[in-house]
Structure 1
């Protein structure tokens, strides 16, 4: 597993004293304050960087709004960011994807979540002192971005792209993109340890669904939250040709895109 994408609790524990490693807790403020958090972590709640008004593509908050959040948290563009939540990383992965889109070079996901960390390492209720920064975003150019829109997805349906639906079975059976395979994002998580399954197990799980590094892959769900986690995992496993349908099924249906429904015998 590439630790430039996903880091273990042991890695993070060894870097707690590094001032260039900034830990971001994306849980609600009451969890951060009332339950505790990782030492040195700053709080940037999920709702603060997800904007349903579509000021940018999908539910991205816009480059300037996101930069203001990072600046208020005292983060510099050169810092290494490690994000976590307490939901197996799915909300933190959305933060990772957003930071990548707006040009932060080094942003990583913590393997596991707050509960996984808390089993081995101390937490705190002390809020770190923050010195705000003047964070300047550097959004990716469209050709550099993993995000794709409706037209690109429609084009991908005409060639050998593999559409991966990361939702639950009942959602998948109700409506899905034509030819899509289902891979519930939670399948990569070990429920007992709350961390990712071993790399060999992940590769086997993915290969069983035909999700292999040689394929062009388009990920979607309903509103692009769950695919964030799958996207980060695939990146950590070395997958290179992975597209992220930000509008997901919500946009697809709004545009009267073709769908399939019903059970799939191979599921």
Structure 2
């Protein structure tokens, strides 16, 4: 089925734009190409390599025992029952989006607050942000972006932080994999709602929580995953990957380095079997134990958080303060050690697709 770029969305409490832009014209051409393909082989002579929107959607389906990630057909079947959230920036949202989607105020959902135990998610600010776009705690939600990158997973994590009661889904393939209705242009404001959070502190950890456990006796030390590039994890002298604002470089003792892009293959999640091999086989993480993921900040680690949850790791948490907080802590730094001597880097082969270029629908014969 080709995309429908019908402007307007009377079912929602807002209106889509008029759709008279280059993106809408391009979608019209895609519909024409897809229609010609559906007619039959005779109409596509010399065009055996053509790819239709339906083909792209099929490539992004999700099967098997995978949590959270769903394919385009799932959304098509459940569109009336879920709130669709767009995690991209405003410019891309205005150009084209899934029909009826609401844009996530990304700066707000990454908000943090300082406590005696360390930096933690600012649940009040995050709750207000979702309430402002009409999301209620009981809503089933689907999040999408240009791919399944860290903006999407941070949005899913932010909902989990609030103790969201509804189901949380991420669209495999992002907007590129969707072959349903598309909206464009400006919109009126959605009626806000009151989001009353019930913070789920079991999905994040603090600096002090880690300090009590890092280097503890065997059985008490959580599995640690550093999601930064290997050069940052290793504290490689002179590397451009090192943050000049950090007082110390390296990683938390016992952490294994697995760059987060290994979770993504283009616009799709990495094949689940590979994720299990990567994290359980090669990194030897215990799927029944506690696993803590961290990076330099609080966005990229959520890709690993959601990927591990997707393949049924039971207790995965994010250190929201990140390595930046740990490396620059004041006071007794012996309580917050940084390590470089012992290092374990697991090689990954991931790539993140960011440009929604529509794929290859050309027919050159």
1:137 maps to 196
Residue in structure 2 matching 1:12, options 75, 86, 108: 75
Displacement, 1:252? 0.7
2:93 maps to 32
SS across alignment from 2:170: strand
2:297 maps to 223
RMSD: 2.5
1:90 maps to 150
2:182 maps to 123
Indicate how the Cα distance of structure 1 residues 220 and 130 shifts in structure 2: closer, same or farther if over 3 A, else same: same
SS across alignment from 1:210: coil
1:190 maps to 265
CA contact (8 A) 1:173 1:263 kept: no
Q: In the aligned structure 2, how far is the partner of 1:265 from the partner of 1:70?
A: 38
Indicate how the Cα distance of structure 1 residues 4 and 208 shifts in structure 2: closer, same or farther if over 3 A, else same: closer
CA contact (8 A) 2:105 2:129 kept: no
Q: Deviations over 1:152-187 (max 9, x none)?
A: 111221133211111111111111111211111111
Q: Is residue 2:206 matched to residue 1:149?
A: yes
Q: Is residue 2:321 matched to residue 1:242?
A: no
Unaligned runs of 5+ in 2: 1-63, 236-249, 347-365
Unaligned runs of 5+ in 1: none
Q: In the aligned structure 2, how far is the partner of 1:127 from the partner of 1:22?
A: 19
Q: Which has the larger radius of gyration?
A: 2
Q: Deviations over 1:137-161 (max 9, x none)?
A: 222254xx21110111112211332
CA contact (8 A) 2:119 2:207 kept: no
Residue in structure 2 matching 1:76, options 112, 132, 136: 136
Q: Deviations over 1:121-140 (max 9, x none)?
A: 45331556654142232222
Indicate how the Cα distance of structure 1 residues 93 and 223 shifts in structure 2: closer, same or farther if over 3 A, else same: same
Indicate how the Cα distance of structure 1 residues 55 and 84 shifts in structure 2: closer, same or farther if over 3 A, else same: farther
CA contact (8 A) 1:217 1:241 kept: yes
TM-score normalized by the length of structure 2: 0.64
CA contact (8 A) 2:111 2:126 kept: no
Q: Kindly tell me the number of residue pairs found equivalent between the two proteins.
A: 256
Q: In the aligned structure 2, how far is the partner of 1:74 from the partner of 1:214?
A: 36
1:108 maps to 169
TM-score normalized by the length of structure 1: 0.85
Q: How does 1:241-260 map to 2 (within 5 A)?
A: 241-255=315-329, 256=333, 257-260=336-339
SS across alignment from 2:169: strand
